[in-house]
Structure 1
């Protein structure tokens, strides 16, 4: 720097101090930028393999793919999975005479004889097809007669079930079709009307189709109340929630589900504690399987026993394994949890009521040892929780240490599932609906839709034909879920 020789000692000291201050400011700025870059890199690295994010985010631009999806395929190959029960079309001797068709050679033989006069040598090949008839809407007329008794009293025939009081209406089968397409397959209203018209020739109006969901929800209200009661009394309930957009302003709401292998119940609300108080009744005393969302742990909610979703924990441990590639404890903890899940599934398949004692002790020891090692390697940063960010995995390790009973409860009671996958499966239709239509038109319409969906999901879990129970509900013959002991 020219001219430094001319500066006095005091001026050189002042200049040095100014440069030191500027250098310190630059260092602080570099530190902040490095922290910001690290946070951004971590956000980009989050995916469905190392967090609770859905698989749909893996395809977003710049998003890091999970390790086992780098080659493209995905975690499961399409079609039948290894070990799954195979299904094939089997031959049946129960075929109606009207559905058997005989075919004979037609034409002329090389000798000039008519094949119609040839001798029948019998059937040489048989082929069966599973076929459906072409569906064509028919106009049915119901004439209600009146009769006069010899005493003078006049009696009028009642309308058959499902026949409206209006002179012309759509039949209950057609109504059930529309509700099924709207609720189960998320077909938008206008497309549903077009689809029914194309397949049957009937011409229901979009307004009529839209109003069917409200009518169906009213028809199944009593069954939903019973489903709610049965879940309150159930030994195990899986819970989850997902954001959905509702109304013309696309307001963000949350769809919550409580379910088990036989029951499904939905509730629309927020992610606040008041919603969860209405969602989880105070009378509930069963084990709640959830994803560690903080509201489930609120004292006001009154949940007695928790089972933390092990699938979420394993994904969080995958994040730790990627963050600390040289550490062994993340893989050890994953191995312990997966080993306990496999042992529990194997015990259930073999009809046993508990995991073998030696297997349980081995994986439990492996789990507790991995937690202890992880806590020793990932130290807690002192300071208030609101102002201090803990290293990746520290909070998770403290959860595994402090709530080990809630993590391993499934290993000691085979009635409890290790994950809340059942709840996630029951919420998946909401994601499909949102991808198709972007939002639902109103909160009331959304409540009606998921009241019907919960009823149909429960019926399907009981092995019932969905169209039959839906049609019966619309004509007033509502199916009610039985007590668990008789299901």
Structure 2
């Protein structure tokens, strides 16, 4: 093999060629190792979806993404389209006492030439009820306020109607409430809100007037906002979540990668409170959490580090099991041959199911034997996982998996608190639901220009959300606020 090389090159030159080739091989090997690691990282990134990470479902069908597998259903059957068995049905019922009645008779002439108006009435043979709304059109009413003089000499002047503003003309509280509802609840941008109001009512308020309603209504809700915040601090368990919002200038502040804010929510099944700020401790200290610290209230959250900060205070925690299950699904993809990710996830789902069933049946606790068996399966799975992942590894996803297992081991009480206390929800899904409108608004309207107006928007949103959770109507409570009588959440019912 060396004879041809020896013939072509002197020995010294041959050694130089070999050294050069060895160096080149080392360079290629290093480049190959780097590209292999980069490819593994990209494949891991593209494999992230709504089932194995916190990505929203809207990103599952993005180019290059690996879609999540279909959810497994009990008995191997997927959910069919339409109404599900046991779900409450709805229908348009025939009312015994309609709002109005109208008799209808045949018109025209009979075949014999007689006018049917003179025919003999034989009674009702068919009845039909039509549910309809009246045609909407803006109505201008002039209110003339009179002054009168009493016999005693005192004078009295009539007040303006509810919701009237200074000046000679203005829009009434119904139209104002409708405009705010469209912007805050239905996420319509200002100009589209104006266009819809004109199409439905004939009124065409200016975009400036409509947008200014946010500041006006939020200014009327100061006391309500404080009361909602106070009532949340009295709750037994509070769900917390945060999401980024594109707000303000497009250029990031110095030291930041993105020009965005964060919207924090603290909520229960009866109350909702929002705070716009950053994802930093200063914002968390300004939130409801600062008043919960050191109390017996349980906070349900996604393990973001600020919830565990000593600077924020001491809390009783419930780690969101929905986030844990997503991370366990990701761990199963990093270790496809391992059984422990599925074992931990199945045990966790089993405990959630038992807790939900116990609440549904009116029981105060899970069956102790079932809880013990599922908890032991959970702990055993965690121990096996820790023995399989003795370090943080080098492949994408290995470090995250190891950290997850350490959390499941070191914070078992915070993971399974819901199984010991049925008053604690296992997930922060209520907070996710209360934040979903913010994500929807971003998809519709894009970047919001003002921090102050955005906080106004979510002060109003928290007021409406709390009222709706109590069974009140969104338009009604907005009108109440605009007429100076904002709806107030009632005192909590003692447990």
Scaled to the shorter chain, the TM-score interval is: over 0.9
In the TM superposition, residue 283 of structure 1 has moved relative to its aligned partner by 4.2
| Pick aligned residue for 2:452 from 420, 444, 449 | 444
Counterpart check, 1:339 vs 2:340:
no
Q: 1:324 aligns with which of 335, 338, 344?
A: 335
Distance 1:301 1:66, change over 3 A: same
Following superposition, the deviation at residue 6 of structure 1 comes to 5.5
Identify unmatched segments of 5+ residues in structure 2: 73-77, 252-258
> How far did residue 158 of structure 1 move?
1.9
The answer (yes or no) to whether the contact 2:145–2:159 under 8 Å persists in 1 is yes
Q: 1:11, CA displacement in angstroms?
A: 4.7
Paired residues of 1:307 and 1:410 also in contact (CA < 8 A): yes
- Deviation per CA, 1:295-330, whole angstroms, max 9, x where unpaired? 111111224211111111111111122232222111
Say whether 1:217 aligns with 2:218: yes
- Number of residue equivalences: 478
Q: CA shift at 1:119, angstroms? A: 3.4
- Displacement after TM superposition at 1:245 (Å): 0.8
1:74-89 equivalent positions in 2, closer than 5 A: 79-89=82-92
The Cα of 1:81 is off from its aligned counterpart by 4.1
Q: Which structure 1 residue ranges, 5 or more long, are not aligned? A: none
Structure-2 residue corresponding to 1:37: 39
Indicate the RMSD between aligned Cα atoms, in angstroms: 2.4
CA apart distance, 1:264:
0.4
1:411 counterpart residue number? 419
d(CA) in 2 for partners of 1:50 and 1:317? 7
SS at match of 1:483: coil
TM-score by length of 1: 0.92
SS class of match (2:60): helix
1:20 aligned partner: 22
Deviation by residue 1:181-223 (Cα, 9 ceiling, x = unmatched): 1111111111111111111111211111111110000111110
Deviation at residue 115 of structure 1 after TM alignment: 3.8
Structure 1 partner of 2:466 = 458
The C-alpha deviation readout for 1:231-259, integer Å capped at 9, x for no partner, is: 12221111111111112426311111110
Name the CA distance, whole Å, in 2 between partners of 1:267 and 1:100.
Answer: 51
* Structure 2 contact 393–399 (Cα < 8 Å) conserved: no
Q: Distance in 2 between matches of 1:3 and 1:103?
A: 111
Q: 1:9 to 1:458 in 2, by over 3 A?
A: same
Q: How does 1:279-428 map to 2 (within 5 A)?
A: 279=287, 280-284=289-293, 285=295, 286-381=297-392, 390-391=398-399, 393-428=401-436
Q: What is the rounded CA distance, in whole Å, between the counterparts of 2:467 and 2:131 in structure 1?
A: 25
Determine the structure 2 residue equivalent to 1:199.
200
Answer yes or no: is the 8 Å Cα contact 1:288–1:303 preserved in 2.
Answer: no
Inter-partner Cα distance in structure 2 for 1:450 and 1:76: 35
Q: Distance in 1 between matches of 2:232 and 2:56?
A: 27
Contact 2:5 2:14 in 1 (8 A): no
Which residue is equivalent to 2:267? 259
Shift of 1:382: 7.8
1:184 and 1:207 mapped to 2: Cα distance? 19
Contact 2:41 2:396 in 1 (8 A): no
1:9-60 CA-to-partner distances (Å, cap 9, x unmatched) read: 5554444333323222221221111011000000000010111111111121
Is this contact kept in 1: 2:331–2:397, CA < 8 A? no
Q: Is the 8 A contact 1:282 1:302 kept in 2?
A: no
